[in-house]
Chain A
Amino acid sequence: MKITAPISTPAEVEPLVRAGARELYCGVVPPDWIQRFNTSGVNRRVFGNLNGYADLERVVEKATGLDAEVFLVLNAQQYGEQHLDALTEIGARFRSIGGKAAIVADISLIASLAANVPDLDIHVSSVATCRNVESARFFAALGANRIILPRDVTVAEIAAITTELPELDIEAFVLNDGCVFEEGTCHTVHLPMNKGGPICIDNYQFEYQATGGGQPQERALRRLEQNDLDYKRWLWYRFGNGFTSAPNGYPWGPCGVCAMPAMHAAGVHSVKIAGREGASERKIKSVELVARVLERIEAGEPADEVRKFAVGLRDAPSHCASGYMCYYPEVRSRHELGDTEGKLLTAV
């Protein structure tokens, strides 16, 4: 199982690979793109991109020298038909300098890259919301080599796809970013924070209505309000414990390291660390954290021991105990129920 890590500058390549990442992904906004299309929307993130092709070449060269692979993010939910040729040219150029794969969500772009740049691997972005075996087969038929599963899947669902489709590489989230909505079905932009930021943490003031109109009954309203408080607490964890790090530098926020033994057993190819827009130090510490867990798995340490080690890494087990910091909370729940072998997790 490999670690896939984000980069936004060539200077991050070496420390991330040294920390344990074997796969790096990055975005780039070519200099003529904004002029041509009047948008910086080459990928899902406006910030966190490399400065241009020269940086992209440096990244590929450095990574190749360190025996790591580089993937290029072209993963907007959708592109206009006027963009497809330009994006396909970007993919071809990336391949010509030694890039390995494009991370893509738009099905038209997947088809175009498969037809025109056949030696460039295609990784289906989590933004494509592929979370079942039939859907994975659909993308494989289009030319995909890898499926990056969306954030909110269960370990059992991951295992079902890896089992059914051994010819496809499967990548699953393990650390950092925490969208509330499914990326591929969220048709918003992350506004500047003074205009509202991401819609899932914007300042909407909602009131409950019962179906058909009117307020819910008093008892129901109390339960709803308590549920809202729980949700706010979950949101705080989902967004990196208020965008903070542990005292030892390891990042807080959505985390799936406890599920890594089960994912490894299921045949997951790579675990993904999100956060291209993050600080370099956060990326490096993220890779270190995941690598320390992976080392133990690869050394054959029992899954239960690995999970205990993982929970102790940030020296604040109460956050883990909340259950709200987990990408795969069922691992924790079932572990507490005594399923120490993780059998339930890989049941198809």
Chain B
Amino acid sequence: MTNMMHTPTPNSGTRPIELGFALVDERELAAFARHDRLTRDDYLDQLGEARDCVTLPDDAEPTHFFLGSEFCEHLLPSVEAVDRAVALCERWGLTFGLVTPIACDGLFDPLRAALQRLPAGSEVTVNDWGVARLVQREFPALRPVAGRLLGKMLKDPRLPSATWARMYPNGLRAGPFRDILDGLGIGRLELDFPPFGAADMYAGIDFPVGVRAPYGYIAKGRICKLGSLSLDTPEKFSPGHKCRRECLGFNEVGARPGTHELPTSQRGNTMYYRHAQGMAAAVAEAVNNGWVSRIVLSGA
């Protein structure tokens, strides 16, 4: 493992916030293609009523556009969709990013095919150490970003208090973690903002930090209830089968009866919470202080 010196990014509080939008369903590219340029309202409109749970600086305008899923090997975009998204980003003057999940071995060839379509300087959000190695070794012109599956922290929205949330602190400032990311050529972290998170919770991290908003993920599995909809018993609820991407058509929303916890949903194999307005304010404060340099808007 190469142990490179890492140069901390200067306080980004004086620079405009980077603003990205992350799209999972490649079919929705068609709607974006109608825009000659993208504005923050175009991004916020994609969130529906959840846009009320986001607070952005006045000067925040789109800088990045992402396609792909962090959570499912079945949702890797086709090379045609990657080509279309790259072309749109060139037209809009935005940086493109391909988002990739934890991978099984069968995903590596499709991944290579997708990565080959990316122009130099494109970002790749990696959520699997093996994928990070692949990008470093075979695609050195791309810029890997550590996705939120690699930045581990407690995010259980059911916890009754901040005291519970402190039980398992994150290790984002640990020296070995920084060295390993350096060794893989990873220069940026993308994270969730957890329940009970404080504005300064990402202060002092040696990497520029992006936060996904207004949804954080709680847990993801490889077993997918919704992805088993078209399967017969006993193939249901098992790994390694084909998927008809039912999660792109349906979402489950709800709560635990008798609680006033964060709105929760399940999309395919993943559970999410939605930020409360207080959390949005904390993220905005983190942006103002330069502790968070990018917000990536994404749905659940």
Q: Do A and B come from one complex?
A: yes
Assuming the A-B contacts A209-B253, A224-B250, are A132 and B108 also in contact, with contact meaning beta carbons closer than 8 angstroms in the complex? yes
**Cβ of A160 < 8 Å from any Cβ of B?**
yes
Residues of the B chain whose Cβ atoms lie less than 8 Å from the Cβ of A36: none
Task: Give Cα A276 to B254, complex, Å.
Answer: 33
Q: Which of A83-142 contact B (CB under 8 A)?
A: 83-84, 106-109, 111-112, 129-139, 141-142
B83 interfacial contact with A, CB 8 Å: no
Among A5-13, A291-299, A300-308, A322-330, which stretch is in contact with chain B? Answer: A322-330
Contact of B105 with A133 in the complex, beta carbons under 8 Å: yes
**Neighbouring A residues of B48 by C-beta, 8 Å:** 213
**A78 to B148, alpha carbons, bound, how many Å?**
13
Choose among A134, A154, A156 the residue that contacts B130 (Cβ–Cβ < 8 A).
Answer: A134
Tell me the smallest distance from the CB of A73 to a CB of chain B, in Å: 15
Nearest-CB distance from A148 to chain B (Å)?
15
C-alpha gap A305/B61 in the complex (Å): 65
Is the beta-carbon distance between B154 and A189 smaller than 8 angstroms? yes
Known: A78-B171, A330-B240. A210 touches B249 (CB 8 A): yes
Residues from chain B with Cβ under 8 Å of A223 in the complex? 229
A128–chain B nearest beta-carbon distance, Å: 8
With known contacts A134-B108, A187-B153, A107–B180 Cβ distance under 8 A:
yes
Given A77-B168, A153-B239, A181-B219: A84 in contact with B251 (beta carbons within 8 A): no
A81 touching B256 by the CB < 8 A rule?
no
CB 8 Å contact bits of B80-106 with A (1 = contact, 0 = none): 000000000000000000000011111
A141, B130: Cβ atoms under 8 Å? no
The reply to whether B158 and A136 form a contact with Cβ atoms under 8 Å apart is no
Q: Report B161-193 residues with CB < 8 Å from chain A CB.
A: 164, 166-171, 173-177, 179-180
Proximity bits, B248-272, A CB within 8 Å = 1, else 0: 1111111111000000111001010
B250→A132 contact, CB < 8 A:
no
Q: Count how many chain A residues have C-beta atoms less than 8 Å from C-beta atoms of the other chain.
A: 81
The answer, yes or no, to whether A76 is at the interface (CB within 8 Å) is yes
Write the A49-88 contact mask toward B (1 if CB under 8 angstroms, else 0): 0000000000000000000000000001111111110000
The residues of B with any CB-CB pair to A shorter than 8 Å are 1, 25, 48, 102-108, 128-134, 149, 152-156, 158-160, 164, 166-171, 173-177, 179-180, 194, 217-223, 225-226, 228-229, 233-240, 248-257, 264-266, 269, 271
Chain A contact residues, CB within 8 Å of chain B: 39, 41, 76-84, 106-109, 111-112, 129-139, 141-142, 150, 152-154, 156-157, 160-161, 179-182, 184-189, 191, 195-196, 199-200, 202-211, 213, 216, 220, 223-224, 227-228, 230-231, 234, 322-324, 326, 329-330, 332-333
